[in-house]
Chain A
Amino acid sequence: MRTSSSGMASNRIERPTELTADRLELLLRHLAPDPGEAAERYTRLCRRLSAFFSWERCSDADRLTDEVIDRVARRLADGEVISNLPSYVLGVARYVASEARARRDREARALTELGRREPAERTHDEAALACLDGCLSRLDSERRQQLLTYYSSDLSARIAERKRLAESLDVKPVALRNRMLRLRQRLETCVNRCLDGASRDTSSLGATQNEKLEGDIGANGV
């Protein structure tokens, strides 16, 4: 039911979802009366949840996000009155995170071992760089330049650079931040899908293959 919300390519374990269309609609109505605004709030909520689980060091943040959404939607369908939805969602998320904690610790140990394999990391970096090169080339030059200015390599100068950029574009810093966050998120999604497509390829040698990656970086995308 939910499309990727975290800015990362969806790489989660598929499982049957309990989120029916009726429940989702109920949740959306609870988020906002206007369908467009509700969709926007839903996307933001999912991204927050995904980030929260990541900060809690839970693997498979997207799946856990689904879990929270499922549970909250079910409560609403059961007729529970929720006056403060963000706070309620956070409470459920904390509970789900605690459930996942034991598994998280186990996986963290495995990942630490994996992280020591530096050559593999270098290989991954080369692939990521090639993918990034391709993704950036899909951006028009103005937005690419804005993004690179906003995330300038001179980290100490970023605050001043961002302020100047907002002034030159005649937008408020908050609006510029929102725009750049979304652009970076799309760029990350683009790179991750590029990498995902590549890893799928290696498992099916012998067949002719080509990757058609769904578009997240578009000329008018943000």
Chain B
Amino acid sequence: MRPRSSGGRSTDDRQVTDYLLGRLAAPDRALLEERFFADDDFADRMFEREDDLLDELAAGTLGPADERALVDRLLSTPEGARRAAFARALHQWRQRQPVVAPVPHTLSAPRARGGSRTLPQWLAAAAMVTLATAAGWLGIDNARLRQQLRVTPTTAPPVTEATVPRDSSGMEPRIFAVTLGAERARSSSVRAVVELDASVEVLRLSLLVQDAAEMFDATVETSPGGRLVSRHVGLLKSPAGTVDLWIATNQIANGEYEALLSVDRGGRAALVAQYVFRVVGRDGSRLP
């Protein structure tokens, strides 16, 4: 039986939290560590509390003092930083999910709900309006940027290179990695063909850049049409000279796309490269 404080909260829980935030006095810390190594259940509670703290950090619901303590204690190692990144991704993923009515927690009931990314009608309509507005603005913006590109064409080679996924028996998400060279003009006959089979879940575009800038913004949109697919800001050039974008394949269907790479030049966005590629379903199973 866990000792409980008058406030109803477990004394253990409070101690665990204090430990994880680096606030437990040395003698108590030593005792707690002994218990952590000796008691499976207690160890699991510590792991759980650690996860909860990282989730609270990701959600921005920790108080400033706790946040500072957590960052200092847990995020000062590469492993801790990765765990925090995972918690942020989990939080963002949840935020992206549609709001649905709660369903009973049974082993079979969630089928109707799980895996569904369909938006409620009102939310879908709202999203369309938002997207159309954004796409319209970006359309104007990108037209201006394309004009700039014609004036200062990139010298990057119009080389395209796509990879073909190999069979995978693994259960983890399959990444399809594509390296694209920039095009001088939209009319170029060179088109990278990204052939995806239905099992690919993440598309990574590595955009070859020759611009000297280190940081870029990127927009991926349909072509023609200019419908916004994704926008990426603050991308750093890799040591290999590429800018890498990540796109979940459920965001794209068969068709042509453009990736537009821009940099900030004195407060103004300047388009530095344009990449055109076509997505086709390898086995016809992707969306037409």
Contact = CB atoms under 8 A, between A and B. Distances in A.
Interface of A: 6, 8-9, 11, 44-45, 47-48, 50-52, 54-55, 57-62, 86-87, 89-90, 104, 107-108, 111-112, 115, 118-138, 140-142, 144-146, 148-149, 151, 153, 155, 158, 164-165, 168-169, 174, 177-178, 180-181, 184, 187-188, 190-195, 197-198, 201-206, 208-219, 221
A121 B59 CA distance: 16
Interface string B25-52: 0000000011011101101111110111
A197 B175 contact: yes
B241 to A, nearest CB: 7
B164 A208 contact: yes
B107 interface: yes
Interface residues of B, number: 93
- Pick the 3 closest A-B CB pairs, nearest first: A134-B173, A141-B114, A119-B234
B247 to A, nearest CB: 7
| Interface residues of chain A: helix, strand, loop or mixed (majority) | helix
20 contacts: A8-B82, A45-B37, A55-B73, A90-B37, A123-B232, A130-B246, A134-B173, A138-B173, A149-B105, A184-B51, A188-B82, A192-B82, A198-B175, A198-B246, A205-B206, A205-B241, A209-B177, A215-B169, A217-B172, A218-B171
Given A51-B47, A130-B202, A153 B95 contact: yes
Interface of B: 19-20, 33-34, 36-38, 40-41, 43-48, 50-52, 55-56, 59, 61, 73-83, 85-86, 88-95, 97, 104-108, 110-111, 113-115, 161-166, 168-177, 179, 201-202, 204, 206, 208, 215, 232-236, 238-242, 244-248, 250
Given A141-B110, A216-B172, A210 B52 contact: no
A54 B176 contact: no
B61 to A, nearest CB: 6
